[in-house]
Structure 1
Amino acid sequence: MNIDIWSDVACPWCWIGKRRLDRALAAFPHRDEVTVTWHSYQLDPTLPDHDDRSEAQYLAETKGMPVEQVRAMVGHVAEQGAGEGLTYDFDSLVVANSLRAHQVIQLARESGDTAAVEHLEESLFAAHFERGEDIGDADTLVRLATEAGLD
């Protein structure tokens, strides 16, 4: 079975979905017969490299929603994430264009080191959603790739 997934490391639901898929595959008796191919997808390619707005302000303005509604929405996402062992911190999140992060992921895939790619993707999600790091920053990306074992 082949599974193709289009995902953005700036998408909170993508990380939740990844965790749920990982858990389902771990329990699947035919896991060795499954190939999962991740594809880069940008939710908002129009974002600048770095945006000074908070996540709530950014979403409220781009989605045309009241900030209170956005806060309730991300609260629900954080609650769902907590059920998967994730600790979202939307107040510390740095709004940034994810293009550079996707470029690093694609370069990592070219290495053929699937464990390093998996580590890098998890690190990017955690850096963005839990630690408030800028996933559009070159130094941050180099550090995360190096920590994942990539050259």
Structure 2
Amino acid sequence: MQTLKHTLTIDIWSDLVCPWCWIAKKRFEQGLNRFEFRDQVVIRHHSYRLAGGTPAMPFKDAIVKKLGSQHSAELMMDQVGTAGKSEGLIYNFDGMMFG
């Protein structure tokens, strides 16, 4: 394995309650594991609230409010659930909070 002269620092900003952020984290880790110089990568995680200032409410209610309909919310949750499952993540939207 070759050696880089410098380290590569990657800053990752994510919302800890965002299901897409967890999917992205898993995919990033998979890519990093295939990177030849992964031992010379420094990762700095930072938290960021995508919906800062939003009052806490059940996730499903928040998505219906955001997307405008129950049907749209269900489609989005199905899409997120499928993407998460492909990365080994299981989401329980009934028990999740938003905000």
Q: TM-score range by the shorter chain?
A: 0.7 to 0.9
Aligned pair partner of 2:63 in 46, 59, 77: 59
Write out per-residue CA displacement over residues 24-55 of structure 1, whole angstroms, 9 at most, x where no aligned residue: 1112121011111111100112133x43xx32
Structure 1 length as normaliser, TM-score? Answer: 0.56
CA distance in 2, matches of 1:32, 1:5: 17
CA distance in 2, matches of 1:57, 1:96: 9
Tell me the amino acid that sits aligned with residue 87 of structure 2.
Answer: E
The answer to whether 1:22 aligns with 2:29 is yes
The structure, 1 or 2, with the larger RCO (C-alpha pairs under 8 Å, 6+ apart) is: 2
Aligned pair partner of 1:40 in 47, 58, 73: 47
2:81 match: 78
The answer on whether the counterparts of 2:67 and 2:73 sit within 8 Å (CA) in structure 1 is: no
Select the structure that is richer in helix: 1
The RMSD of aligned alpha carbons is 1.5
The answer on whether the counterparts of 2:59 and 2:98 sit within 8 Å (CA) in structure 1 is: no
Structure 2 length as normaliser, TM-score? Answer: 0.82
Select the structure that is richer in strand: 2
Any unmatched runs of 5+ in structure 1?
98-151
The CA deviation at 1:73 is: 0.4
Tell me the amino acid that sits aligned with residue 58 of structure 1.
Answer: A
Q: Pick the structure with greater CA Rg.
A: 2
Three-state SS of the structure 1 residue aligned to 2:95 is coil
1:88 match: 91
The answer to whether 1:2 aligns with 2:12 is no
CA distance in 2, matches of 1:3, 1:65: 36
Sequence identity of aligned pairs in percent?
37
Count how many residue pairs are aligned between Structure 1 and Structure 2: 92
CA distance in 1, matches of 2:67, 2:27: 30
